[in-house]
Amino acid sequence: MFKEKRKERRIREENRVIIEIPGKGGPEGSPEINALTQDISLGGARILIMDEFFPVGSFLKMTLYLSRSRQLVKVHGRVRWARTIENGFYEMGVEFEHGIPASVMALINHLYKKDQNVPASIQAKSAGEKAG
């Protein structure tokens, strides 16, 4: 049986995602595309999108509206895989590029509520960022 080699636990949930398309905007700024997460983890998300295909390697600026914790998180990510689901619908795997510790903490708070244990590897990373 095939076992996935994921670094982080994935949570199945739908969250609104706004994707900015750099370089396609005018003076008003970059156009935005609405999408939904299908699942999410600290390392990335599986995203469902309509009418816009992003090839593997595309860099994305995204805003995640985390419904359960009611937080707004701005993250950058890179498309690791993409596929057509049906006419006009696409699914893509996006790996987050956490450059801002606040975005990591917001995701940790959203994914690991107070009644759940935060993995030790995440606690160590957070402690190291605060010390540095």
Provide mean pLDDT across the span 62-91. Answer: 92
pLDDT tens readout for residues 11-55: 899 999 999 976 665 556 678 999 999 999 988 999 999 988 999
Confirm whether 73 is domain-assigned: yes
Confirm whether 21 is domain-assigned: yes
Confirm whether 103 is domain-assigned: yes
* pLDDT for the residue 9: 78
- Domain residue limits at 90: 11-131
User: pLDDT above 70 covers what percent of the chain?
Assistant: 69
Q: Considering the chain, what is the average pLDDT of its residues?
A: 79
Residues in CB range of 108: below 8 A, 6 or more apart: 42, 118, 122, 126
The residue with greater pLDDT, 118 or 24, is: 24
Domain CATH number, residue 52 = 2.40.10.220
Confirm whether 47 is domain-assigned: yes
Confirm whether 4 is domain-assigned: no
Confirm whether 6 is domain-assigned: no
Count structural domains, the chain.
1
* pLDDT at 125 > cutoff 70: no
For residue 54, how many other CB atoms are within 10 A of its CB?
20
**By mean pLDDT, which of 25-29, 71-75, 114-118, 128-132 is the weakest?**
128-132
Confirm whether 100 is domain-assigned: yes
Confirm whether 81 is domain-assigned: yes
Residue (of 50, 18, 48) closest to 36 by Cα position: 48
d(CA 28, CA 15): 26
